[in-house]
Structure 1
C-alpha cells in the first residue's frame, strides 16, 4: 500500500506534516467562522423575520435597511471582499495574512448568507402556532425562543449544514490569497509547482470534511424530528 501511494502520490507523500497543518488551519477557520458567523447570522436572521411587514415586531424602515444591507454584502464575490477588507482586517487582528486574519472576511461573508437562510427557515414555521402563542399572551421574546427557534429547529439545522459547507469552500478560496489551510496548499504546492497529486489530496480532504459535516447534520435532523 505504501509503495502504491508513493507511486501515484509522490509529491503528497513527501509532505504529510504540511497536510496535517493545512487541515488543522482549515478546521480552525471553519469552526471559528461557523461559531461567530452562526451567532451573528442567527441574530440578524431573527431580526429579518420579526421586523418584516406583518412580523412580530414590525419595523418597516429597519427591515428595509437590513434587508438591503444583507443583499448587498451577499452580492459581493468573496475574492473581492477579501481585497476590500484588507485594511479592516489588519486593524482588527494586526495582519492580513494567515488563518486568523481570514476569519474577518469569512465572518463578514457568512453572516448575511446565514441570516438569509435563517429567515427562510423561520418563515416556514406554521403561522397558526405563532398566533396561538400570541393569543395566550406569550411575550415576543418568548415567541422567538419557544416558537420560532424551537419549531424551526430542523430547518435551522438544515441551513446550518449548508452554511458550514459553504464556509469550508470559502476557506479554500481564502487560501488562494495566503490565508493558509488546504486551499493555500493546493495553490502554492499543487498548482504553482505543477504537483497535481497535492491538489487532488487537498480536494479529497476538503470533501471528507464536507461529508462529515453533512453526516452530523443529517443525524441531528433525525434526532430533532422524532
Structure 2
C-alpha cells in the first residue's frame, strides 16, 4: 500500500506567526504531553527513523515544526508540555501563539492528540481537543504505548476513553489504540491522517 507520508521531510520551525508557511493547502497537527510518544508516533506513521527527534529530555519541542509531504501538504509537530521546565514568559508566548494558530489557521484540517494509554485525557489533552472541537476541526486521539498493556487492559482503557470523550465532546473525536513499537494501529491512524490531507484512500 502506498504511503504518501513517507515523503515527509523537515521544512521549518516557527517560533512566531510570521514564520508560518502560507495559510493554504492541508496540514494536520500533532499534539501530546511530554513523553506521550508523539515523536515515536510521527516516525511510525511516516516510516522514518528520526523525522521527529525522540528526545530523552521531555518538553524539548518549543516551536511549531513543519514537515512537508508535498507542496501545501504538511504535518505539524506542536510543542509538548507537561514536564517542560520553561520560564512563564515562554509558556505565555506559546499559549498565545497556539491559541492564534488554532483559531485562525485555515489550512489546519485535523488534529491528532497523542496520549499514553496508561495516563489518558490529562488537562493538556482535553485543552488541545477542545481547541479543535471549538473550531469544528476533526480530532483523533491516539492511545500510544498500547504494547505496554495486555489485550484486555487495552480494550478496557479504550472503552473508558471513548466514554469520557463522548461525554465531553459528543461524537466529534475519534480514538484508537496505537503502538509505534509494535506498529499496532499504524495503518488505521495513517488512513485518518491521509484522509485529512486530501490523499486518495487506497
Q: Shorter-chain TM-score: what band?
A: under 0.3
Q: Which has the larger radius of gyration?
A: 1
More strand by share: 2
More helix by share: 1
Q: TM-score, normalised by structure 1?
A: 0.25
Q: TM-score, normalised by structure 2?
A: 0.27
